[in-house]
């Protein structure tokens, strides 16, 4: 049996916990080392997970010659510098979403990947859910025809992630726009077949988050000096004539407990609602409308774990990665343009 690829995880405090089962269950990889800037978290998680090789310095895990794969689970602003350093040190890299806060950062990461000949993948776990894979396969079979409009949202009611990682721009690059907008937008562009965005008209709002007593149902105080938005919306035009309406929020007087994450896709042969898997078609000849449920493909397990297993499989067997960084350029390009449009108070064009 081939030697297993050795994985080092950087930033083990939060989302990394959803990656651990993936590395443990991968036939191709094993987790061997952790790094974190917080020594308490590093030692606690190391002990819990039975990992003895622990690094306080990112340089040391990246330069460990035994390690083949670096898994980046740090706040967003560290993604680009760590990924570039790891790639140039000869490691394959899987990196949490958003791959980086600007398209320029992502281009630098792609340049490092190409220079090193190693693999780089964005961890967009929603793509690995059975309901997403089934919808994508149906669209690729032509079920909806040409998709000419989409409406996508990810809306929460008083559910801001009140951690330094998310609420300060110096760590995150932005609020819900970049935090959760990246999830629903990545899925939407993937379903639409990655049309080229050409313009964005966007707004951001902070009407609720600074009100006295504003809270998050996830606990913790909302810091007074928080400097990111709570709501963002955009209208996007694509080169092929298609359009998209996007809405994201951490706090909104919206009828949801937890999260309302949905995507409507409208094509010239049919419409679809994700994640409900509703398919809507019309037969003009018999003047009949049809509402059906999409048959789901079998699940490949919990999505965060599945993305790690898939990445290790691609590295071990030299296959293309399922979420290449090139897919993240238009996603982050639109979100970056949303912020620029909101600041300018007018539509901005993308090149």
Ligand X SMILES: NC(=O)c1ccc[n+]([C@@H]2O[C@H](COP(=O)([O-])OP(=O)(O)OC[C@H]3O[C@@H](n4cnc5c(N)ncnc54)[C@H](O)[C@@H]3O)[C@@H](O)[C@H]2O)c1
Residue numbers at the binding site for ligand X (CB under 6 A): 10-15, 35-38, 41, 58, 73-76, 78, 96-97, 123, 125, 163, 165, 179
| Nearest CA among 112, 29, 35 for reference residue 72 | 35
Cβ distance to ligand X smaller for residue 36 or 247: 36
Contact 293, 279 (CB under 8 A): yes
For the chain, give the longest Cα–Cα distance: 68
Contact 256, 265 (CB under 8 A): no
Closest approach of ligand X to the CB of residue 211, in Å: 25
Cβ distance to ligand X smaller for residue 26 or 172: 172
| Nearest CA among 134, 129, 127 for reference residue 292 | 134
CA separation (Å) from 290 to 58, 195, 269?
Answer: 55, 28, 12
Q: Specify the DSSP element, H or E, that contains 189.
A: helix 181-192
CA separation (Å) from 23 to 87, 118, 121, 125, 351?
Answer: 20, 19, 15, 15, 39
Closest approach of ligand X to the CB of residue 100, in Å: 10
Q: Is 90 left (phi over 0), alpha (psi -120 to 50) or beta?
A: left
Cβ distance to ligand X smaller for residue 92 or 125: 125
Q: How many CB atoms lie within 10 A of CB 115?
A: 11
Cβ distance to ligand X smaller for residue 91 or 237: 91
Closest approach of ligand X to the CB of residue 37, in Å: 4
Closest approach of ligand X to the CB of residue 76, in Å: 5
- What does the block give as tokens for 125? 């776990």
Closest approach of ligand X to the CB of residue 182, in Å: 8
Cβ distance to ligand X smaller for residue 95 or 244: 95
Cβ distance to ligand X smaller for residue 112 or 154: 154
Cβ distance to ligand X smaller for residue 47 or 269: 47
């Amino acid at each position: 049996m081939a030697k297993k690829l050795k994985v080092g995880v950087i930033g083990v405090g939060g989302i990394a916990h959803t990656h651990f089962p993936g590395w443990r269950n991968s036939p191709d990889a094993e987790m061997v080392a952790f790094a974190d800037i917080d020594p308490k978290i590093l030692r606690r998680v190391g002990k819990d997970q039975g990992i003895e090789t622990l690094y306080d310095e990112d340089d040391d895990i990246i330069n460990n010659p035994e390690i083949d794969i670096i898994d980046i689970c740090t706040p967003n602003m560290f993604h680009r510098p760590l990924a570039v350093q790891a790639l140039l040190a000869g490691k394959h890299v899987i990196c949490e979403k958003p791959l980086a806060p600007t398209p320029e950062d992502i281009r630098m990461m792609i340049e490092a990947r190409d220079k090193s000949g190693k693999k780089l993948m964005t961890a967009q776990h929603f793509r690995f859910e059975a309901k997403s894979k089934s919808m994508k396969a149906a669209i690729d079979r032509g079920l909806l025809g040409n998709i000419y409009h989409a409406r996508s949202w990810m809306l929460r009611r008083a559910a801001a992630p009140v951690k330094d990682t998310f609420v300060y721009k110096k760590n995150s690059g932005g609020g819900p726009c970049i935090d959760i907008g990246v999830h629903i937008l990545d899925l939407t562009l993937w379903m639409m077949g990655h049309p080229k965005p050409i313009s964005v008209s966007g707004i951001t709002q902070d009407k609720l988050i600074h009100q006295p007593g504003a809270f998050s149902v996830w606990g913790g105080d909302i810091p007074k000096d928080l400097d990111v938005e709570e709501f963002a919306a955009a209208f996007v035009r694509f080169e092929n004539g298609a359009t998209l309406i996007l809405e994201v929020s951490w706090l909104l007087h919206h009828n949801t407990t937890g999260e309302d994450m949905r995507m409507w896709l409208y094509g010239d042969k049919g419409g679809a609602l994700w994640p409900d898997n509703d398919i809507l078609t019309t037969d003009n000849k018999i003047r009949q409308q049809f509402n059906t449920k999409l048959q789901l493909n079998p699940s490949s397990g919990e999505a965060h774990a599945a993305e790690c297993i898939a990445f290790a499989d691609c590295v071990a067997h030299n296959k293309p990665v399922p979420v290449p960084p090139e897919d993240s350029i238009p996603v982050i390009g639109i979100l970056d343009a949303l912020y620029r449009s909101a600041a300018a108070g007018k539509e901005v064009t993308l090149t």
